[in-house]
Amino acid sequence: MLGETEVSQENVRNWADGLDIPVAGPDAPRETVLFVDCEAAFYRTAVPRAVAQILQAAGYEFGLMGEQWCCGGPAAEMGYADQAKRFARHNLDNWRSTGTTRVLVLDPHDYISFTEDYPRYFGAEFDIEVVLVVEVLAELVEQGRLTPHVPVNRTVTYHDPCRLNKRKGVWQEPRTILRSVPGLTFHDVDRVTQWSYCSGGGGGLPVEKPELTAAISDRRLGHAAELGVDTLVSACPWSERPLSEAGDARDIDVVDIHEILAESLGITVGGSRGTVGDRRCGGGGCGGGGCS
């Protein structure tokens, strides 16, 4: 349970309440769907709400999956290969049944699963285009389809998620977004590419060794504090939980980059950003397994 919300397939789209986003189905095909991972869908719902409303503001057409299961990444990392493949098979079959050819992804962990694991599972059968949301938004800003205009009076630095930066080489687009926001004072780090700092939030470490995750996140916030910032901006819901806990101790706010952009576009996001009790993901919170 997450507060009053059961982590289940029935509730995986609750984050989108009131946003009027179409749901893909066999009789309602959608070329593009937004995949929202378990962490964002149930814990940090402000992130997908920000993403969805920004895309809507830009006139970017998309829908949601009618029956979205976990990407399978957590199960694969913990050695449950058959379970991971079962989740992947379900998702691919669901996309095919709804005419989906493009999947928008806001979480670097899902992005790894869809661009590395799924092609390995299915080979040439996997012909879905996988698009990272932060890259889409940077392009929309550069094209003038999104124009941040509301000043955001924060002094920030950016946390490069390991899987986004070190694994996929995506580091320029988040900075493009931050530099487009009026009122924002951006202090970049001196370790931008392969030597960027870790949050300790990936690879199942928060479950196996939470004290080590806490120490790594505290060290990351220490580096941020050295820059004299009041906010650390990230682009990974999984890293934001331990970073937020470490930030509280140093009076540094941790905010997702999509939320920052939404604020500067004058969008009221809503949704949750708070810390909750431990919820150990078994790789099935969105269906077919269950998170507890």
How confident is the model over 217-235, as pLDDT tens digits?
A: 888 889 899 999 999 999 8
Residue 111 lies in a domain: yes
Structural domains in the chain (count): 2
Check residue 211 and give its pLDDT: 82
Beta strands 129-132 and 185-186, pairing class: unpaired
Residue 289 lies in a domain: no
Burial (CB < 10 A; 0-12, 13-18, 19+), residue 158, is buried
Q: At which of 137, 165, 196 does a domain end?
A: 137
Q: Judge if 23 and 65 occupy the same domain.
A: yes
Q: Judge if 133 and 14 occupy the same domain.
A: yes
d(Cα 63, Cα 67) in Å, to the nearest integer?
12
Check residue 285 and give its pLDDT: 45
Model-level pTM? 0.88
CATH number of 221's domain: 3.40.50.10700
Residue 281 lies in a domain: no
Q: Judge if 84 and 121 occupy the same domain.
A: yes
Rounded to the nearest 10°, the torsion over CA 45, 11, 113, 205 is: 70
Check residue 101 and give its pLDDT: 97
d(Cα 202, Cα 74) in Å, to the nearest integer?
10
Q: Judge if 113 and 48 occupy the same domain.
A: yes
Q: Judge if 34 and 152 occupy the same domain.
A: no
Task: Please give the C-alpha separations between residue 80 and each of 83, 112, 237, in angstroms, as whole numbers.
Answer: 5, 17, 23
Residue % of the chain over a pLDDT of 90: 60
Boundaries of domain holding 208: 145-264
Q: Judge if 179 and 84 occupy the same domain.
A: no
Average pLDDT for runs of 10 along the chain of length 292: 63 94 95 93 93 97 94 89 97 97 95 96 97 97 97 94 76 94 90 62 68 82 92 87 84 95 95 49 44 30
